[in-house]
Amino acid sequence: MRVLGIDPGYERLGVAILEKNKNKEILLFSDCFQTDKSEALSERIFSLGQRVDELIKKWLPDALAIEKLFFTTNQKTAMGVAETKGVLTYVAKSAGLTIHEYTPLQIKIAITGYGKATKEQMLYMLDKLLLIERKDKIKHDDEFDAIAVALTCLVSTK
């Protein structure tokens, strides 16, 4: 099974492609797509949708794993992220992917076994669970979050 994992956002969008082969999870690709703050939100979301569509066409995943949104403060940001998530879900569903959504709690439990795990604990476990050869090239937490959500999907689905 091959999964596209996404940590949704419109300023930074974490993406990862993971595959399960013979009970081993392998990181095939990961990146953090950034948009230009000077562009209109609609342009930023459109650009992200195009980039994710290109990823789907290149890597041919079977499923999309995406983090469920929980916001308690900035409503303006929440709306933009929700719009982005909607577009990405549409793009994935249009390509025939199954959609899996996970809460931050579900992701932490799947990766560390503890729902209140810290970022450091998550990174430690990701390093133990996956061979990530380019750790030094990963500059944003969004990319690690996308890897974690994709891994959650692989260990949660049969």
In which order are the strands placed within the sheet that holds 2-7? 24-34, 12-21, 2-7, 63-67, 98-102
Helices 75-94 and 41-59 sit at what angle, rounded to 10 degrees? 30
- The CA distance from 84 to 80, in Å, is 6
The catalytically annotated residue of 19, 25, 31, 67 is 67
11 as an active site residue: the answer is no
Contact 40, 53 (CB under 8 A): no
142 as an active site residue: the answer is yes
The catalytically annotated residue of 7, 25, 31, 143 is 7
User: Using the 8-state DSSP alphabet, how is residue 130 labeled?
Assistant: S
For residue 139, the tally of other CB atoms under 10 A from its CB is 9
The catalytically annotated residue of 25, 142, 143, 145 is 142
43 as an active site residue: the answer is no
Q: Which residues are catalytic?
A: 7, 67, 142
